[in-house]
Chain A
Amino acid sequence: MVEERRILYEHLDVPDINTFDVFRQYDGYTRFEKAIAEYQPEEIAQMVKDSGLKGRGGAGFSTGEKWSFVPRDIEPRYLCCNADESEPGTFSNRYVLEKNPHLLIEGILICCYAMGIETTYVYIRGEFTLGKKMLDAAIKEAYEKGYLGKDVRGTGLNIDIYTHPGAGAYICGEETGLIESLEGKRGQPRNKPPFPAVQGVFMKPTVVQNVETLCNLPFIVGNGVEWYTEMGPTYADTRFDPPKPDANTGTKLYCISGDVNEPGVYELDLGLTCSELIEVAGGLRGEEVKAVIPGGSSAPILTHYELDTRLDFTSLTLAKSMLGSGGIIVMNETRNIVDCLLNIMKFYAHESCGQCTPCRWGTPWVRDIVQRIADGDGRKDTITRPKFGVAENGRWGDTGETEEIYEDLDLLESVANNIANVDTMTWNTICVFGIAVSWPAVSYMRKFRPEFEAAIREGKLVTLPVAEATVPPEENYAYQQRFIPKEFADL
């Protein structure tokens, strides 16, 4: 059994760790002090790049690389901490904010020092009232102790952190949506480029990082790059010659929910398999795994054939899914996939910001199709294809083969693919919300097609046994191009 490795969450359950004094007892702020005493800002940025840290918010983009795009000659620069945790199935940031807010402040301080940033906005989703209260209290304490404000610890650095409440819109978790919202507008994402690293909040260079990413920084600085890169697999990207290392280093706060016995946040090295994680979370609640959502509701679903998939950025991308924000939702044999998809499509239809036409109209359309199927009104048709052959009367003629087609399933795929095409990975929308809608819609439908067909045929929701409900990998394009990567050391 895989062991938990608690780094970010190590002191989470220590009583009063949210206060400065207790946090200080557990090496609090020593990593920041080490950073300013021993390293130049550029060295910190280089360390983060070497550590292979990937953004934990969803896209999995290399943090060090993102920092390198920020022009250092334009003042002022900003840091936006994304604490707008709204992806269904994700809840790890909430615990950091509520229980250990000083860790986040330390991460922010290191980032500010490395990037020469003076102002940080922490965008907290509006529903996190307790998290905001705790963070506000911690910030106040840090000001009093001289770790924030003018001339931090006598180093001449000026660093301010402000919290900014959201107001319940999912799209504000998208980085440019967040920036628009922070500027006091509707949270409608911007066209990219220009990327936020060049023109972000108030049109100034902006680093946007997730809470979990920032919380990794103190440990990278404190324990060194070598210590950090030992955790998690590094793969070989064979598109380059010689193969370029593709790092999936560090631990991840896996949030697991749904049909497991002990749902919760588990901090584990990246790269364990799906079935291992279910085992860590107390095993499955039920008889059999029917499906697993590996990275929040926008990630394409995995079937029971794919439980050997490793949960890291590279492996899941190659399995045509994504790690996203690390929200894993497990479903057992009693669940109906049509019903689950309906729930998720209602979510996206509600949360579309309405800026781009394909998404604004497409998301309710997809929802309505799935609703129709779930209500038993799914459209089907029989078509007769002309075919020459020996007819019943023994003479040559049109034998008229009749075939039953499921009109609504084709329509579902067509509408979803016109919001964002999952096969070519091109989207007709400004932001990736489009792909977050069509990914689940198309992948659920392709991988669990028998269950959708049964619902249309029978005129009601039918929950098939797992083996019957799932399309096996060998026969279907639903799993195309799927392969498990090899570790770098093996090559």
Chain B
Amino acid sequence: MSDELIQIETPFAFNEENQREFDELIGRYPIKEAAMLPTLHLAQRQAGYITPAVMKHVAELLEVTVMKVKDVVTFYPMFFEEPVGEYVIRVCHTLPCALRDCKVVLDHLKAKLDTDIASETNLAKGTTADGKFTLMKVECLASCDVAPVIMINDDLYKNLTAEKVDEILDNL
């Protein structure tokens, strides 16, 4: 992807606080490219998702090609290339959670939010009409002792049942 081919509507730049954090980050590594993942996390936190403008800015900061940034963004499931809801709900559905009925939790969330489950290539499918929630299935969240678990943005919720899910969503 050469730079001319990217449609950039609004350019992206770090705000002052994030720029400070980035300056601190970059000093940790002997090569700039190594700061890729933390920088993308930082950018995603500010912009909501990784737009072409974000990729271009990150590429300039790390002195790599835009293609290289795109390469990394497409590899990792935690980076979104489409807009997501205000709350991203990640439902674990790997074996230990499946043995503890995570399907009940997932079906309940689907019915309650009236949405499908997002796929990695189609996040809009799992986003509610009001843009508040995005529902997605993820692999093991490493909390199998308190299964079934979900993560809403940065917080983990444990030992879930349909009633507990209601309570959590009401308190958001």
Contacts and interface: CB of A to CB of B under 8 A. Distances in A.
B75 A186 contact: yes
B77 A94 contact: no
A130 B139 contact: no
Contact of A202 (B30, B90, B93, B140): B30
A439 interface: no
A347 B139 contact: yes
B20 interface: no
B95 interface: yes
Contacts of A23: none
Nearest to B32: A184
B144 to A, nearest CB: 4
A257 B92 CA distance: 14
A259 B37 contact: no
A239 interface: no
A168 B95 contact: no
Contacts of B144: 88-91, 255, 257-258, 263, 327, 329
A263 B36 CA distance: 37
B5 interface: no
Nearest to A123: B37
A343 B154 contact: no
A327 B38 CA distance: 29
Interface in B12-64: 28, 30-31, 33-38, 40-41, 62, 64
Contact of B34 (A125, A168, A184): A184
A90 B78 CA distance: 20
Interface magnitude class on chain B: 35 or more
Contacts of B157: none
B140 A88 contact: yes
Nearest to A258: B99
Q: How large is the interface on A (under 10, 10 to 19, 20 to 34, 35 or more residues)?
A: 35 or more
Interface of A: 85-91, 93-94, 125-130, 160, 162, 164-170, 181-187, 202, 255-259, 263-265, 293, 297, 327, 329, 331, 335, 340, 343-344, 347, 350-351, 353
B106 interface: no
A85 to B, nearest CB: 5
B96 A257 contact: yes
A165 B41 contact: yes
A182 B141 contact: no
Given A91-B144, A168-B76, A183 B154 contact: no
Given A186-B75, A343-B94, A167 B140 contact: no
Given A257-B147, A258-B99, A167 B77 contact: yes
B72 interface: yes
Q: Which of A184, A297, A329, A351 has the most CB of B within 10 A?
A: A184
Nearest to A353: B75
A329 B99 contact: yes
Contacts of B65: none
A168 B77 contact: yes
A331 B78 contact: no
Interface string B122-155: 0000000000000000111111111100010010
Given A185-B72, A263-B144, A168 B78 contact: yes
Question: Which of A166, A202, A258, A293 has the most chain B CB atoms closer than 10 A to its own CB?
Answer: A258
Given A185-B72, A258-B99, 5 more contacts: A86-B142, A126-B78, A129-B154, A165-B38, A185-B71
B77 A86 contact: no
Contacts of A340: 95, 98
Given A91-B142, A126-B41, A183-B31, A343 B98 contact: yes
Given A91-B143, A184-B35, A263-B145, A329 B95 contact: yes
A166 B30 CA distance: 19
